[in-house]
Amino acid sequence: MNAANVLEDLKRRFPNEPEYHQAVEEVLSTIEEEYNKHPEFDKVNLVERLCIPDRVYQFRVTWVDDEGNIRTNMGYRVQHNNAIGPYKGGIRFHASVNLGILKFLAFEQTFKNSLTTLPMGGGKGGSDFSPRGKSNAEVMRFCQAFMLELWRHIGPETDVPAGDIGVGGREVGYMFGMYKKLTREFTGTLTGKGLEFGGSLIRPEATGYGNIYFLQEMLKTRGEDLKGKVCLISGSGNVAQYTAEKVLELGGKVVTMSDSDGYIYDPDGIDREKLDYIMELKNLYRGRIREYAEKYGCKYVAGAKPWGEKADIALPSATQNELNGDHARQLVANGVIAVSEGANMPSTPEAIRVFQEAKILYAPGKAANAGGVSVSGLEMTQNSIKLGWTKEEVDERLKSIMKNIHEACVKYGTEPDGYINYVKGANVAGFMKVAKAMMAQGIV
């Protein structure tokens, strides 16, 4: 395989999908060497079969808003690869959603899920519906209308969706209700469900906690820990909130959080009480992060990212390409020692180069944020055996999975000078398992 040629060809066949091209380029450039050690892979054109999703569903979603207007949105489900288990991955509701973004996410998910050691393939879905400013009743009607199309393509052994941006416990609950009504079966087809109806303890916390467990492992390689470390977090949604919670628990200090309008900088640190306020503001009142600055009298910067503030650690937890080359140079100049991604592909390729050239600890999302889907996998297991595990048991399993992922990255990503290239490590480790499974299953 020649990674550059494969990429050019994909760009020609699937134009206008820049995020998908970006994700594919990152993986192919890091697995090329390992791939080419196995001539049997190229004989069966494994690379194209790995990059192009198995199938994509697209549908119109029609719903009625509170004023009685009939509205339409696009709905999608990308089933990328099921070589090692049923398709698995979240659903995103955000105005920016399009097919290219979901293809990048489903592609990434395939490698991430492989890394978790659990039997899950990769998929992703979503809609360009924006929950922002919508009433609870509108969100419910939209979720129901979305599921009216999606239900025929998913199932506990086929494809198991979950949450992502704009989709949390509320939306999963509404989608589950409609799925159950249509299929007349109570199965664990969605994860991230409420605790009363098959949800797993620690699933809401899992992505953020998992990212910090991974960060702890990275810091250990340099004889460091989180105590007293100043952290920049972007986002203020599910991942950002539980990332902050775990940082606080381990003695670190969180000085920023953000939303799509801007960021707050609190030099005294966002403590437990202030984090509770943010959780209530975001999860209950669905307010703006600006309101934090008004309440606690700290700095709010509209229309900007937090990466210019001085800190030891950066934890991007909002969205793709939110941290560019200039931001990365600023972080490095300010003495950042580690960047661990809660979001999917938040750093641009240029930013990643800057981190790696500076030899700081840098973990890509597919390794660092795999805790979320891991606990989703554990939720599937609990649903299958019709039992629920304790908080402690799930948390222990999560810790051990994140440790294993870190070890896999070290094994496949350590460079001759000892620097751990976590991007290469995660991609090669994730790829090898999927590749072997595909080889064993023939040309399908």
Q: Which residues of 227-253 are buried (b: 16+ CB within 10 A; e: fewer)?
A: eebbbbbbbbbbbbbbbbbbbbeeebb
Q: In whole angstroms, what is the distance from residue 371 CA to residue 112 CA? A: 10
Amino acid letter for position 398 = L
Buried-exposed string 116-151: b where 16+ CB fall within 10 A, e elsewhere: bbbebbbbbbbbbbebeebeeebbbbbbbbbbbbbb
Binding test (CB under 6 A) with ligand 2IT, winner from 82, 238, 241, 376: 376
For ligand 2IT, the binding residue among 166, 168, 364, 372 (CB under 6 A) is: 372
- For ligand 2IT, the closer of residues 30 and 376 by Cβ is 376
Tell me if 312 sits within 8 A of 338, measured CB to CB: yes
Do residues 281 and 206 make contact, with C-beta atoms less than 8 angstroms apart?
no
Which residue stretch of 88-96, 217-225, 229-237, 416-424 sits at the interface with ligand 2IT (rule: CB under 6 A)? 88-96
d(CA 146, CA 129): 10
Whole-angstrom distance, CA of residue 165 vs CA of residue 158: 23
Question: Does residue 369 interact with ligand NDP by CB under 6 A?
Answer: yes
Which position among 53, 75, 126, 235 is part of the footprint of ligand NDP (CB under 6 A)?
Answer: 235
Binding mask 257-276 for ligand NDP (x = CB under 6 A): --xxx---------------
Binding partner of residue 89 among ligand 2IT, ligand NDP, none, CB cut-off 5 to 8 Å per kind: ligand 2IT
Closest separation between CB of residue 317 and ligand 2IT, Å? 12
Q: Is 89 in the site for ligand 2IT (CB under 6 A)?
A: yes
Q: Which residue's CB is nearer to ligand 2IT, number 89 or number 306?
A: 89
Task: In angstroms, give the least distance from the CB of 421 to ligand NDP.
Answer: 21
Choose which of 79, 216, 236, 348 interacts with ligand NDP (CB under 6 A): 236
Contact of 332 with 249, CB cutoff 8 Å: no
Q: Which residues pair with 376 in a beta bridge?
A: none
Q: What mask of x and - would describe binding to ligand NDP in positions 43 to 62, judged by CB under 6 A?
A: --------------------
Tokens representing 123 are 């998929």
Neighbour order of strands in the sheet with 87-93: 55-64, 70-81, 122-127, 87-93, 159-162
Strand partners, 338: 313, 361
Residue 237, interface with ligand NDP (CB under 6 A)?
Answer: yes
The stretch among 87-95, 211-219, 252-260, 388-396 that binds ligand 2IT (CB under 6 A) is 87-95
- 66, 141 Cβ separation under 8 angstroms: no
Q: How far apart are CA 100 and CA 18, in angstroms?
A: 7
Beta strands in 266-337, from DSSP E residues, in sequence order: 299-302, 313-315
Q: Is-contact 325 348, C-beta < 8 A?
A: yes
CB 219 within 8 A of CB 338: yes
376: nearest Cα among 196, 181, 192: 192
Smallest distance from the beta carbon of 294 to ligand 2IT, in angstroms? 31
E strand residue ranges, 145-205: 159-162
The site for ligand NDP, by CB under 6 A, has a size of 25
Q: For residue 341, what is the DSSP state?
A: -
> Considering the rule CB under 6 A, would residue 239 count as an interface residue with ligand NDP?
yes
Which is nearer to ligand 2IT, 56 or 358 (by Cβ)? 56
**List 88, 103, 112, 124, catalytic entry:** 124
Using CA atoms, how far apart are residues 173 and 412, in angstroms rounded to an integer?
39
Site string for ligand NDP, 326-365 (x = CB under 6 A): ----------------xxx---------------------
Q: Report the nearest approach of ligand 2IT to the CB of residue 340 (Å).
A: 15
Q: Which residue is nearest to ligand NDP (CB)?
A: 237
Q: Between 247 and 373, whose beta carbon lies closer to ligand 2IT?
A: 373
366 a catalytic residue: no
Minimum distance from residue 298 beta carbon to ligand NDP (Å): 17
Q: Does 19 bind ligand 2IT (CB under 6 A)?
A: no
Q: What token pair was written down for 338?
A: 């580690």
Stretch that binds ligand NDP, among 171-179, 256-264, 294-302, 404-412 (CB under 6 A): 256-264
88 binds ligand 2IT (CB under 6 A): yes
Judged by CB under 6 A, the residue of 373, 398, 401, 438 near ligand 2IT is: 373
Candidate list 238, 347, 382, 383; residue touching ligand NDP; CB under 6 A: 238
Q: CB of 160 within 8 A of CB of 188?
A: yes
The set of catalytic residues is 124
Binding site for ligand 2IT (CB under 6 A): 88-90, 109, 112, 162, 164, 191, 344, 372-373, 376
Binding site for ligand NDP (CB under 6 A): 94, 96, 163-166, 168, 207, 235-240, 259-261, 317-319, 342-344, 369, 372
